[in-house]
Structure 1
């Protein structure tokens, strides 16, 4: 009997396209149908009438286990419903309908969430995985447009079973309706499964995308700082390194009002596993006026003061946030905060970011839904920044 064992899940939303992926236990064909539903005052799936009108359908008759279908020619910031189908010579399976939303365009507010360590915390987790289930459920209550995972989503990326145990299994309901992006952490362990399961732009370990008024840049800090030289560099942080050169080109070309960069190893954290060599990237981030940097690796929450040139600068500084979200390791914090730390707490959490043209609002939320830290970055039409 043909069975869907992962997904469906959503990848790489743009203003007019989205990719839908899933995995079956037996090689089979792939098909996605997209429906446009009528919005009503009450009723089916969040005040939408049961979808009946098919907008488009895309088929791939080749047999495979990991399925990936990109739907194009959609409208910006629009809610659709989708159904997936797989079939082989002996059986067939379908799932849906589930809602999806395309990316919003410039000038339209949106929100996203950030977390990590769903697998990295597994060796310390006494809940037998319930913490991950609760974390995904709590994020779902905030209905983000998408989510960033800042690495270590599995315990060992080379173990096939880990991808379902720590990530796709606990996040199944959430990922059916919420696209996600991820960067490589050390627990992904350079695994090929990351590249097979993720629908990001090549080379997949680093990439960038625009969403609304934000330009996002994903880096692979495990490539900059190799396992055999961690926490020091092997001279990869220099011109001529493909990823280093990509970062400069990417930020030079970005035209969005806000810039956010994310990668796993933290250059600033008042705790264990700070990787100071990555501060070599900071002059580039400062030159191209990055606003926020998200990291993980240390399984705590920490927000820095705005930093520029190794000092606190409330006018032009960058805020670094460690969202080691799926676990809480208070023993990993230093006895006292370092100079760069504004707020820090070791609790299971995620971060919600609400974006408008004039403001980024960052909210740190624990597993029970309690707000325990907040920050606003405001920027006027001339690009003058104020951090509150």
Structure 2
């Protein structure tokens, strides 16, 4: 009997395409159908008719267990539905239809969510996984256009079962309709499953992408700070290092209004597991106008003041946010806050970020749906910033 092991889930949203991935229990063919989403003006069913009209399809007769199909020729910022199908001599499996939305154009508002530590918190979680489930459910309530995971989404990346237990299982409903990106945490162990399950741009441990007015850059801090040297670097953050050179070239090449960087180890947190050597990257972030940096690793929430050149700077500083969201370790916080800390709290949480042309609003929400921190960043046409 053939059955779905994981997914389906969404990857690589662009203005005219979306990638669907899933895993089957045995080698099988794969196909995706895209159905027209037609609005209705009365009744229920989420204001959409039951999708019936197939407008595109992609198939692959080559058999595999991890399936990846990209549908192109779609319209920007548009709702569609998709159905996946796999078959072999043992049977067939079909799942869907599920809604999805293509990326918006530049100049159009959108929202995304951020969390981390769905697996990194596992050995401390007294709820036996309920924290993960609650966080995914709360994020789904806010209907984001995409989501960032800031590492440690599994407990042991080399353990195949962990990917279902801590990530794909608890997040199944959410990931079916919400495309996502992730960075490597120390718990992923740079395992091969990370590279097989996700369709990020090569080399996959670091990459960048655009969505609306935001340019996102994912870095691999576990490569800058090797496990045998942690928490110190061994001189990797300098010209000649492939990832460092990528970062410089990528920042130089983008013309996006907003620049957001995310990686696992936090350069600023008033708690345990601060990795100060990563502050070597801060001058680059400052030089090229990065607006926000997301990290996790320390299983708390923390938002810095806007920082520049090692000082608080409300004119042109960068806000660093630790989103160790799917857990809470209050004992990891220092007895008092550091100079760079604006707000900090150890509760299970996620972040909702709303992006408009000249405002970026961030809200920190706990696993019960309660707002406990927020701030807004405004950027004028000349690049000047204001925070409130």
Q: State the TM bucket, normalised to the shorter chain.
A: over 0.9
Q: Residues of 2 paired with 1:271 and 1:317: CA distance? A: 21
Q: Residues of 2 paired with 1:46 and 1:233: CA distance? A: 51
Identify unmatched segments of 5+ residues in structure 1: none
Shift, 1:150, TM fit: 0.1
Q: Establish whether residue 75 from structure 1 lines up as the match of residue 75 from structure 2.
A: yes
Q: Structure 1 45/231 Cα, relative in aligned 2: closer, same or farther at 3 Å?
A: farther
Deviations 1:86-139 (A, max 9, x none): 011231110000001000010100000000000000000011111111110010
Greater shift in the superposed pair: 41-50 or 374-383: 41-50
Q: Residues of 2 paired with 1:327 and 1:164: CA distance? A: 18
Q: Is the 8 A contact 1:42 1:48 kept in 2?
A: no
Match of 1:145 in 2: 145
Q: Establish whether residue 191 from structure 1 lines up as the match of residue 209 from structure 2.
A: no
After the TM superposition, list the runs of 4 or more consecutive aligned residues in structure 1 that deviate by more than 6 angstroms.
Answer: none
Deviations 1:183-226 (A, max 9, x none): 00000011000000001111000000010000000000000000
TM-score normalised by structure 1 residue count: 0.99
Shift, 1:45, TM fit: 4.6
Shift, 1:42, TM fit: 4.1
Match of 2:370 in 1: 370
Q: Establish whether residue 159 from structure 1 lines up as the match of residue 159 from structure 2.
A: yes
Q: Residues of 2 paired with 1:91 and 1:36: CA distance? A: 28
Report SS of the residue matched to 1:321.
Answer: strand
Shift, 1:162, TM fit: 0.2
Q: Residues of 1 paired with 2:218 and 2:43: CA distance? A: 39
1:181-330 matches, cutoff 5 A: 181-330=181-330
Match of 1:58 in 2: 58
Match of 1:355 in 2: 355
Report SS of the residue matched to 1:374.
Answer: strand
Greater shift in the superposed pair: 24-33 or 35-44: 35-44
Report SS of the residue matched to 2:122.
Answer: coil
Report SS of the residue matched to 2:123.
Answer: coil
Q: Is the 8 A contact 1:44 1:50 kept in 2?
A: no
Identify unmatched segments of 5+ residues in structure 2: none
Match of 2:38 in 1: 38
Q: Residues of 2 paired with 1:148 and 1:46: CA distance? A: 26
Deviations 1:291-312 (A, max 9, x none): 0000000000000000000000
Q: Structure 1 131/360 Cα, relative in aligned 2: closer, same or farther at 3 Å?
A: same
TM-score normalised by structure 2 residue count: 0.99
Q: What value does the CA root-mean-square deviation take over the aligned residues?
A: 0.7
Aligned length: 388
